[in-house]
Amino acid sequence: MIYNKTIKLLALLLITSTGYLSAQTKLWQKGVIVDEFVYEKAPFPQSHSATIVETPAGLVTAFFGGTKERNPDVCIWVSRHVNGKWTAPDSVADGVMPDKRYPTWNPVLYQIPGGELMLFYKIGASPGTWKGWLRTSKDNGITWSEARALPEGYLGPVKNKPVLLSNGNLFCPTSTEGNKEGNSWQIHFEVTPDFGKTWRKIGPLTAPKGFDAIQPSILDHGNGKLQILARSRSRAILESWSYDNGETWWPLSKTTLPNNNSGTDAVTMQDGRHALVYNHVLPPGDLAKGPRTPLNLSISKDGKKWRAAAILEDSPISQYSYPSIIQTKDGMLHAVYTWRRERIKHAVIDPSKVRLKKIKKGVWPKLKGYTAPGGSEITND
């Protein structure tokens, strides 16, 4: 109840300056060259958890949509970018099982180099009970194979894209959100050397007491050095590092970036830098959860020191969340994300044109004439 009152008060304060925020956001959108909806109308009222991939025929995005998250009618939908426009959402997977119908969750697309397009997704009543499934496409997302279950106990990538390592392993970042033993959050990895034929697990990762994390994304620093960035209930984005192609990992620790207990995504760019899309929001007081607005883009050379690059959304009307980000072969960054649970948004960013400002002590920097909404300071304490 206290949390709800706090959030409502914060939203009310932001709404009083909605026009100001809208005007000033443009100052942080240098380099944002496309800002569009994937669809205007759809046969479902809500959508969430988008993923995006580049195929030989162009961009493909997938997301789940239905009456409401957790409802059995929630399906996986796909839209393709054809001749400069997104196709109408097409239902490609549902949760119909022999005993009953379940909701589907968190699709993740991966394009096998020179091969099929993979669609990972989950079926189940809740994140604590869902199971991993896979469909593939030989025609860049137009038609899809029959669904096949992943091996018992495997989920596939839980939200963010797999990364193909130099040793040939497809490394899937995943996590669990509760089990028979309790409601613990844990990160692990599922590795396949043959694009889904055989699997093995690494982890779960070690975490200090009170550090709960899920939904990691992987950054590749080269020479076997990997980094993950993860959603947490610790008021900060958490990270871990590996120096042996992901076989062993350091314990989770806090970054200097805030987290509002909402999903993030990151990608290593062609020039070796790293891009992160997330809500740069520190929850009020000592709460673990906060508003899912604004939605920010930051860029780093080393994965440690981050620079503010853009604000994709900053309306006080939450939520803008669960982003997915890739870099296409032409060098552009593409992000898709949830827009108020009503639609899916697509943004294209030219990383050579964004203005970069230092983020000091977790506080989003100011531009002349712009005051960042909800700017707060966090430390590694």
For 22-74, how does the pLDDT look when each residue is reduced to its tens digit (9 = 90+)?
555 788 999 999 999 999 999 999 999 999 999 999 999 999 999 999 999 99
For 124-161, how does the pLDDT look when each residue is reduced to its tens digit (9 = 90+)?
999 999 999 999 999 999 999 999 999 999 999 999 99
Query: 89 near 79, Cβ under 8 Å?
Result: yes
* pLDDT (0 to 100) of residue 363: 94
Q: Which of 84, 61, 2 is nearest to 338 (CA)?
A: 61
Q: Which of 323, 317, 321 is nearest to 373 (CA)?
A: 317
Q: Which of 49, 267, 259, 38 is nearest to 159 (CA)?
A: 49
Query: 217 near 244, Cβ under 8 Å?
Result: no
Residue 343 pairs with which residues in a beta bridge? 339
Asked whether residue 380 carries a pLDDT value surpassing 50, the answer given is no
Distance CA 212, CA 156 (A): 20
For 339-379, how does the pLDDT look when each residue is reduced to its tens digit (9 = 90+)?
999 999 999 999 999 999 999 999 999 887 655 554 443 33
Query: 73 near 91, Cβ under 8 Å?
Result: no
Residue 164 pairs with which residues in a beta bridge? 170
* pLDDT (0 to 100) of residue 5: 47
For 255-282, how does the pLDDT look when each residue is reduced to its tens digit (9 = 90+)?
999 999 999 999 999 999 999 999 999 9
Distance CA 158, CA 166 (A): 22
Q: Which of 11, 1, 17 is nearest to 281 (CA)?
A: 11
